[in-house]
Structure 1
């Protein structure tokens, strides 16, 4: 009769390593994974994240258990939130028996917007980055949100008899906070400081409105990042932030750029 005993296979990555060099980050990158994102309004929306997952590896071990990263992702097919992100990072650290762990996710985030005059509804996409890290010093979460907006040039408005050139700008804000800062909080803040916010769908009365609104709220790229920085300075939840804007010029073949970083 054939022996059906289970063969015990060697755990090669668990071997001792004679080189005695610790590795700060080892893991997997560029994994696409479906997930549910919950924001401040409690609504859960499906998206697809591009994930990087790392842990530290002590000097005496040959390798880490790469398959466990995928197992952890698959176990979290329910909703993710900014508040619960740290629990997933801690699970990585424990499952892979590491001193430190880092999880990075980048994904599109959608908001249904209402046109300012006609009231027609449409979806607009934003880009979000979450990076959570646990080390012996503790847990730290950095959240980044990219918001596309309109920026109208004050100089063009000032020197022209009629009209003023404008551009679409990509504003990135990254924050580290002592309390939860939601994705939507950052989006609302940036859109409030732009010459005008963007919409997925506009009718003619809306187009007239946003054109004139931007004309009444001109901002250089320097104005935009400074005004956003002032708002972040005033937010008691925020401990560190960076804000940058790339304005895609309509009258030049280059972009205008500005960046501010500040620890509070």
Structure 2
């Protein structure tokens, strides 16, 4: 067995000095908040007002509810928090944005359209601005069972919510969205082939502006619009009897990406709570190197 001489290392403070650490200097600037200069609140003519200023990519745990199991869940959301800024103000107090978010967290809030609308209203008052916008996205989990065996597992879709509040008009503007995965089977392939048809995974993204915030589970409504118009659903657990049913269902319901986009739009058009919407469908083609895409937007007020 080889013997190794034990190293004698300098202590941690000396090691830090070795790698460039220096002692702090004795500063002359004030350390108490009352005597610190506040550049952001110094009034002047700063050339232009700003429509949105704030922070993004804020990751934070949130509680949500669902009509699908699990009915109560904690997930990790990503926030964008912004407010307006008048021309006479240099900047906003950005620390207040996360400060309010933490206050809501301490109250164990449940994230929904109503609480998000209240958050955006409080943000206007807290930041002393005229307009605020809160945008949040999060993964939503729900149970799905195999169509033949009933074996279950958890699926997920990416959800999106936005609430804007305008103080002058006392007006809330809520928006919602989803990105969900589906299966599509190519109608052309089915038509020209002696047997079989190629299929692919499709990604559906829906964004909708609402007349007002709603109290029911809009997540389920958007998920159904995306999935029930596809060739077949995706499943976390598929036994052979399930796989037979799913593949046969896809064969019975061929969809071009254009078909899927239009059928989803029809469902959204029939939802009374939606004011306008955007739909984008993207098929990850199984026999092509490229993706197939289709998109449309529609407003019921035009």
Common fold by TM > 0.5: yes
Query: Partners of 1:110 and 1:40 in 2: how far apart?
Result: 11
Please state whether the residue corresponding to 1:76 is helix, strand or coil.
helix
Shift of 1:194: 0.8
Q: Structure 1 residue 29 and structure 2 residue 68: aligned? A: no
Q: Structure 1 residue 16 and structure 2 residue 49: aligned? A: no
Please state whether the residue corresponding to 2:128 is helix, strand or coil.
coil
Q: Is the 8 Å Cα contact of residues 182 and 233 (structure 2) preserved in structure 1?
A: yes
Shift of 1:40: 4.7
Please state whether the residue corresponding to 1:193 is helix, strand or coil.
coil
Please state whether the residue corresponding to 2:154 is helix, strand or coil.
strand
Q: 1:94 maps to what in 2?
A: 125
TM-score normalised by L of structure 1: 0.93
Please state whether the residue corresponding to 1:60 is helix, strand or coil.
coil
Q: CA RMSD in A?
A: 1.6
Deviations 1:15-65 (A, max 9, x none): 113424211111111111111122456932111111111001111112111
Cα 1:169–1:8 change in 2 (3 A) is: same
For structure 1, the residue ranges without an aligned partner over 5 or more in a row are 1-5
Matched length = 259
Q: 2:274 maps to what in 1?
A: 238
Deviations 1:80-107 (A, max 9, x none): 1123221111111110011111111111
Query: Partners of 1:9 and 1:45 in 2: how far apart?
Result: 45
More strand by share: 1
TM-score normalised by L of structure 2: 0.82
Partner of residue 190 from structure 1, selected from 226, 230, 241: 226
Structure-to-structure mapping, 1:150-169, within 5 angstroms: 150-169=183-202
Q: 2:20 maps to what in 1?
A: none
Structure-to-structure mapping, 1:99-248, within 5 angstroms: 99-135=130-166, 136-137=168-169, 138-179=171-212, 180=214, 182-248=218-284
Deviations 1:192-241 (A, max 9, x none): 11100111111111111111110011010111111111111112221101
Query: Partners of 1:50 and 1:22 in 2: how far apart?
Result: 27
Shift of 1:7: 6.2
Cα 1:127–1:225 change in 2 (3 A) is: same
Deviations 1:103-144 (A, max 9, x none): 111111111111111111101110111121123452211111
Q: 2:82 maps to what in 1?
A: 54
For structure 2, the residue ranges without an aligned partner over 5 or more in a row are 1-31
